Structure 1
C-alpha cells in the first residue's frame, strides 16, 4: 500500500507543479499602440484585443491605420489586420507570432499628382517578436520582425499594360517597435 501511494504521488506531482507555474491572465484585454516601422511601413496606430487568454497561451486580434499624403510618395492608406499568438516565458516576457493582411488604398496619379483612379491592394503579413507586458500592467512594449509579401490581390488596373493581373512576389523584410497602453 505504501508503494502504491508513493507511486501515485510520484505520478500526480508534476501536475501540481504545472498548475502552480501557470502564468496569470492579462487583467486588461484592450490596448492602443503606436508602432514605428512594422506593417504600417513608417508608423501605424493600432488597436488590439486579447480574444483568448489561457494563461501561458493567448490569442490577440489587431487592427491598425496609417495615412501618408500624396506628396510623400507612398501608398496613401494602410490598414494592417492580424491575429497573433502570444506565449509566456515568464509572467511579463512573451514571444509573439502572427499572420495577417495589410489592406492598402492607393490611387493612380496624373502628372500633377492628382488621383485619377482609386483601388485597393492587400499584402500578406507576419509577425515574430518579443513583448513585455505585466499581467496587471497598463503599459506594453513590443519589438519584432514584420515581413510583408506584396500580392496585388485586388489590383485591377496597373500603370502599364501587362498580360493579365499581376500576382507578385515582392517581399519586404520589415521590423517594428511598439509602445502601448492597456485598458
Structure 2
C-alpha cells in the first residue's frame, strides 16, 4: 500500500511539474515610447504568457553639452489566445533627469521631471522564447502638455 501511495504521489507531482509554467520575461530596445530610446525589462506577474505585467527601462540621449536620462516604469496587460500575438494595453510614469549647459562658463544645470504615459499596441511574443516585436501608440502627458499620437517600436528577446 505504501509503495502504491508513493508511486501515485510521484506520478501526480511529475504531472504538476511538467505543467508548471514560469512567468514570461522579455528584454527589448524601444525607439520612441516613454523612454525615447531605451533598454527595457518586462515580466508577467503571474506564471503565464499573458495577463498583467510590469516594465522598467533606462534610456536617454546627449547632444553636445545637453542630455537627458529617461526611466520608464509601467504596468501592462497582454490579451491574446494563440500564445504568440497579443494586444497590449498599459500605462505608467517616466522619470526624467535633464542636464544642460546654462552658460558659456561651463555652468551645468540639472532638473528632474516626470510624465505619464499610456500604451496601446501589438506584441509578437513566441510562447517558447525567441524574437520579440512591439509597436504601438504611446500618448504622453503631464500638467504642461499632452501628445496623443506619440508612438514606439521595440525589438528584443523573450526567454
With structure 2 as the length reference, what TM-score do the two structures score? 0.76
52 and 27 in structure 1: CA distance in 2 versus 1, 3 angstrom threshold: closer
Q: Is the 8 A contact 2:91 2:119 kept in 1?
A: yes
Task: Please name the residue that 2:123 is paired with.
Answer: 131
26 and 179 in structure 1: CA distance in 2 versus 1, 3 angstrom threshold: farther
53 and 76 in structure 1: CA distance in 2 versus 1, 3 angstrom threshold: same
Tell me the secondary structure at the aligned position of residue 68 of structure 1.
strand
Aligned residues: 140
Alignment counterpart, residue 174 of structure 1, candidates 134, 138, 150 = 150
Alignment of 1:102 onto 2:133: no
Q: What are the residue-to-residue correspondences of 1:1-150 with 2, within 5 Å? A: 29-41=24-36, 43-53=37-47, 57-71=50-64, 76-112=68-104, 114=106, 116-149=108-141
Tell me the secondary structure at the aligned position of residue 134 of structure 1.
coil
With structure 1 as the length reference, what TM-score do the two structures score? 0.67
Shift of 1:52: 2.2
Gap runs ≥5 in structure 1: 1-23, 152-166
103 and 143 in structure 1: CA distance in 2 versus 1, 3 angstrom threshold: same
Tell me the secondary structure at the aligned position of residue 45 of structure 2.
strand
Aligned partners of 1:25, 1:60: CA distance in 2, in Å?
18
Superposition CA RMSD, Å: 2.5
Aligned partners of 1:146, 1:80: CA distance in 2, in Å?
12
Aligned partners of 1:103, 1:48: CA distance in 2, in Å?
17
Which has the higher Rg, Structure 1 or Structure 2?
A: 1
1:80-115 Cα distance to aligned partner (Å, 9 max, x none): 111000000422110000010110001353133945
Aligned partners of 2:58, 2:146: CA distance in 1, in Å?
21
